[in-house]
Chains A and B, each alone.
Chain A
C-alpha cells in the first residue's frame, strides 16, 4: 500500500510545481509577444536564469496582451539613464535578496562616490551607469567569459568610452590610456598571455567606485600586489618627498598606464631625470645596477656550466637547487632597490653571486679531466711499448721473401 501513497504524493507535488512553472512561463511570455528582441536577449541573461521577470524592473502587468493594461500607470520604460543606478539598487542593495548570491549590497553607495556617479548626480547624461558596462537585458555574471565585465573584457568595456576621443575631450582626458595599458606589461599579461590574475583597469581604479588615485595613494594601490617593493619604497626617502612634491609615487618612474618593468640599464637615465646626471644619486644607481647586473651574469654563467655538467653525466640536481636559491636572492634585490640604499642590495646580490661562484667552482672541480688525460698519456706509453715489442718479435720472424 505504501508505495501507492508515496507515488500519489509525488504526483500531486509534481503537478503543483509544473502548474506554477507553466503559469510563470505564460506570464513572462506576454511581454515577448510584442518585444521579441528584448525577450531573446533577456533569455540569455543571468537574471532570466534566476527567475527575474520583465515586470520586476519595468513594472506594469506582464500577464495581459492588452497593451493599455500591460503599460498601466506604474509601468516605466527606463529610458532615462540617470535613474538606472537607483533602479538596479532596488534589488542589489537589498541584503535579503543578495545574501544567497554572496553579492555586496553597498555598490550603489560606492558608485555614488565614483567619478561616474558624481557626474550622473551633476546631471551629466554621458557618464557611465550600470547598463553601460554590464549590458541592458543580457546581463551576465562577471565570471562568464562572454560578459562585458569579465576580467579580460574590462579593457575593451572601459575603452568603449575611454578610447573615444570625442567623448573624452570635454573632460580633458586622454583617449590613448587603454591602448597604452594594452601594450604594457599588465595588459600583455592579461590579454596575450591569458593570465587572469593580471590587473585590469578596475584593479587599480576601483570597480563601481572608479576614480583616479591621488598622490599618496598610488603606492598603496601598486603595493596591493607589489608588497615587498612597497615596503622597501616606504623605508626609503622617495615616498614622502614625492608626495610633498606632488609626484605620483610609483608612476613617477614606472609611468601609469604604459607600465614596464625597469631593467638595471634604465636606472641611470631615470635617476638623472630628477637628480641630474652627475649627482651622487646617479652614482648610487649605477652601483646598484652593477651589483644586480653582475650577479645576474654570474648566475647565467653558472647555469650554462650546469648544462655542460649535465651533458658530462654529472649529477646536477643539487647545483640546480642552489642556483634557484641564488636566483631567489637576485629577485629579492629588485624590490630592495626601492629603498635607494646600497647596503641591502649589496647584501642579497653578494649572496646570489657567492652561491653561483661556489656552484661554478665545484662543477669545474668535477669536470676537471687532468687525471684522465694523464692516465691516457700513461696508457699510450704502454701501448707504444707493446707495439715496439710486437714489431721486434715480427722482425725476428721475417724471412727474406721470394717470388715464385
Chain B
C-alpha cells in the first residue's frame, strides 16, 4: 500500500515539479519556511522538516491562517451557490428561493457562505488591531500592515457587493445606504458610482451584473493575491513580535503546522456550521426599488462612517465630511510610513494612545450610527 502510494508520487514527480506546487501552497500559511524547489518533493520536505523555524501557529498569530481557511470556505460555498444563482433583478430573488427551498443543502450552504463572510471580516479587523497593538508595521514590515488593511478593504467590498446580489429588501437597501456613504468620499465615490451605474442611488440590472462580476471574480482574485503577498512578506521579514533571542524552535515543524491547520479548519468549520444552524439568516422579501424599507442602516462595519456623516452638521457640504473620511482612511493605510517612533519610546506611547482614542471613537460612532439608522 505504502509502496504503491510512493510509486504514484514518484510517477508524478517525474512529470511535474511537485515541490514548486507545494511551495505555492506554503504561501497560504501551510508552512512559513522556505523550500528548495530544485529538489524532488520528498527530499525537499525531509529537509524542511529538519529546518528549525519559528512556530507561528499559536494564538493570536493564527488569525491569518483562520482568514485563509475562511476564504477557502467562501470560495467553495460561493462556487456552489453560483450553480443556481441568476444575476438579474427579476430572477435573483426567486433563484435564492430555489437555492433555499429546492436545492439539497442549499439553505445550509447559503448560511455557511453568509456567516463565513461575517467571520472573515471580524477576523481581518482583529488582525489589523493586533498589528497595531503589537507594532508589527515597523520597518521592514510596512507591507504587512498595508496588505492587511487592503485585504480588510477587499473583504468590505466583497460583503457590500454580496449583500445586494439576492435582491432582498434589507440587502438592497443596506447596499444603497453603503453606496451613499462611499459616494461622499471624493474621487473614489464618484468612480464607484460610475462603475455601478444608476448614480449609486439605484440598483439596476447593470449594477447587479457588475456587482456579480466584482463579487465572484475580481474581488476574490484580489483577496487571494493579498493573502499570498501577506505570507510572502512574512516569509521574508518574519513577524515583529517574535524577537530573535526568544525564537522558539522545534523539530518536525512542518507536520506540526499541518496538524495545527487541520485543527483550525475543524474548529472554524464547526463554528460556522453551528452559526448556520442555530442563527440562520432570515429569508427576506424581494426588494422593491420604489419602496424604501424604513429603519435599514448600512452594514455593521460601515455604521461608524455612517454615524460620522449623520453627526456632521448638515450645513457643511457632504464633500467636506467625505474628505475627512478619505483622509482618515489614507492615514490608516499609510500608518507605517507616518509612525516612525521607536518601540518603547514616548512617541510610540502617543501613537498607541491616539490609536485607542480612534478605536473608542469608532465604537461610539458605530453606536450612534446604529441609533440614527
Contacts and interface: CB of A to CB of B under 8 A. Distances in A.
Interface of A: 310-315, 369, 372-373, 375-376, 379-380, 383, 386-387, 390-391, 393-394, 397-399, 401-404
Contacts of A312: 280, 282-283
B263 A391 contact: yes
A380 B247 CA distance: 36
5 contacts: A387-B263, A394-B256, A397-B256, A398-B250, A403-B249
Task: Indicate the size class of the contact surface on chain B.
Answer: 20 to 34
Contacts of B262: 390
A311 B96 CA distance: 13
A401 B256 contact: no
B255 interface: yes
B266 A398 contact: no
Contacts of A315: 101
Given A312-B280, A399-B252, 4 more contacts: A383-B267, A387-B263, A387-B267, A391-B263
B248 interface: yes
A311 B255 CA distance: 46
B97 interface: yes
A312 B107 CA distance: 10
B204 interface: no
B248 A403 contact: yes
A313 B249 contact: no
A390 B259 contact: yes
Contacts of B273: 376, 379
A310 B283 contact: yes
Given A313-B107, A394-B260, A399 B248 contact: no
Contacts of B283: 310-313
Nearest to B255: A397
Nearest to A309: B283
A312 B279 CA distance: 11
B274 interface: yes
A386 B100 CA distance: 30
Contacts of A397: 252, 255-256, 259
B359 interface: no
B139 interface: no
Contacts of B274: 376, 380
A313 B100 contact: yes
B327 interface: no
A153 to B, nearest CB: 33
Q: Which 5 A-B pairs have the closest CB atoms?
A: A311-B282, A313-B283, A313-B100, A383-B270, A394-B259
B131 to A, nearest CB: 25
A398 B250 CA distance: 8
B285 interface: yes
Contacts of B343: none
B249 A376 contact: no
Contacts of A402: 249
A393 B101 CA distance: 41
Interface in B197-254: 246-252
B367 interface: no
- Please report whether the interface of chain A is mostly helix, strand, loop or mixed according to DSSP: helix
Interface string B291-332: 000000000000000000000000000000000000000000
Nearest to B281: A311
Interface string B89-105: 00000000100110000
Contacts of B280: 312
A403 B278 CA distance: 45
B262 to A, nearest CB: 5
Nearest to B110: A313
B249 to A, nearest CB: 6
B277 interface: yes
Contacts of A390: 259, 262-263, 266
Given A311-B282, A313-B283, A387-B266, A373 B250 contact: no
Contacts of A310: 283, 285
B284 interface: yes
B338 to A, nearest CB: 35
A379 B250 CA distance: 33
Contacts of A380: 270, 274
B101 to A, nearest CB: 6
Interface string B15-49: 00000000000000000000000000000000000
Contact of B270 (A375, A379, A391, A398): A379
Nearest to A373: B277
B251 A313 contact: no
Nearest to A383: B270
A314 B266 CA distance: 31
Contacts of A386: 266
Contacts of B249: 401-404
A173 to B, nearest CB: 48
A61 to B, nearest CB: 63
A77 B208 CA distance: 74
A312 B284 CA distance: 9
Contacts of B277: 369, 372-373, 375-376
Contacts of A313: 97, 100-101, 107, 283
Interface in B143-166: none
Contact of B266 (A372, A373, A383, A403): A383
A372 B284 CA distance: 21
Nearest to A399: B251
A393 B270 contact: no
A99 B160 CA distance: 69
Nearest to A386: B266
Nearest to B282: A311
A401 B285 contact: no
A88 to B, nearest CB: 50
Contacts of A403: 246-249
Contact of A399 (B250, B266, B267, B282): B250
